[in-house]
Amino acid sequence: MEIRIFKSEVEASRFVCKRLIETLDESRSVNLGLATGGTYVSTYERLVDAYQRGEVTFNHVRTFNLDEYLDLSPDHPQTYRNFMQRHLFAHVDIPAQNIHFPPTDEHADYSAYDSLIEAKGGIDLQLLGIGANGHIAFNEPGTPFDSRTHRIKLDETTRRANQRFFKRFEDVPHYAVTMGVATILDARSILLSAFGEEKAEAVRAMIKDTPDPQTPATALQKHPDVTIVLDEAAAQKVRA
Ligand code: PGA
């Protein structure tokens, strides 16, 4: 794991944006794994600015988002598809047919998402956040390391953390569909960002504890190309 610690979220997001632009420049066709949540809002904002300045194009990019809530109507502003539209897709030249989310139909074959990713050549760079409970995507504590895309019941801690995006706690969905831990580990390169002191303990465990499904992020220790991007608050227990 390469660990990069920045003074602030602003500087960290600048680094992540630069890394994304380099990846998009490198190759004619790029498969990006994308994350939602508060962590990536400023990175996507920078990316949109770079696009508007003509520094990057998305016309050769395919995207695969990590996860999606179940039980929200498609026009709900907090679906992850709508989050991505608002923060990135609506502002750049990505072809609509290149945007992918895990299936959300009630009787969906969730593993079809893994097959689709594989058929398109696999993910080149996967962005990740981390939950204060050590989850990656919506792989909550206890999710096996060999899991593929699946439906999951969200932890109460996750629902509480995401309450800030909804009017009331009761409005936060109970279920989601998420890439599995093994799906994530298949990516050629992984970049995980974490900001703020509420992430410090999960970040310490991810880096220092023996890999254990009770802290899903510890699975990343098994991957050969992982960059962890932290601000000082999230890094405080790593430095100690
Ligand atoms: P956040 O969520 O970016 O909103 O903190 C990250 C996560 O729960 O994985």
Q: Which mean pLDDT values do the consecutive 10-residue runs of the chain (240 residues) have?
A: 97 98 88 97 98 96 97 95 98 98 92 97 98 98 98 96 94 97 98 98 98 98 97 92
Q: Is 201 a catalytic site residue?
A: no
- Which residue among 16, 127, 130 is best mutated to probe the pocket of ligand 1, counting the most ligand atoms within 8 A of its Cβ? 130
Residue type present at position 104: T
Q: For residue 39, give the ligand 1 atom closest to its CA.
A: 3
Quick one: what percent of the chain has pLDDT higher than 90? 95
7 and 229 in contact (C-beta within 8 Å)?
Answer: no
Provide the strand spans (E) within the chain: 2-6, 30-34, 61-65, 67-69, 99-100, 125-128, 150-153, 175-178, 189-194, 226-231
Q: Mapping DSSP to helix (H, G, I), strand (E, B) and coil, where does residue 178 land?
A: strand
Active site residue 133: yes
Instruction: Return the domain boundaries, the chain.
Output: 2-239
CA distances from 13 to 8, 23, 44, 86, 202 (A): 9, 15, 9, 18, 20
pLDDT tens-digit series, residues 143-164? 999 999 999 999 999 999 999 9
Pairwise CA distance, residues 154 & 177, whole Å: 10
225 noted as active-site residue:
no
Quick one: which H or E segment has residue 240? none
Residues 6+ apart with CB under 8 A from 156: none
Q: Choose the residue to mutate in 13, 36, 39, 69 for probing ligand 1, maximizing ligand atoms within 8 Å of C-beta.
A: 39
The pTM assigned to this predicted structure is 0.96
206 close to ligand 1 (CB < 6 Angstrom): no
The CATH class, in words, for 2-239 is alpha beta
Confirm or reject: Cβ of 211 under 6 Å from ligand 1. Answer: no
Q: Which residues are 181's β-sheet partners?
A: none
CB-ligand 1 contact for 134 (6 Å cutoff) = no
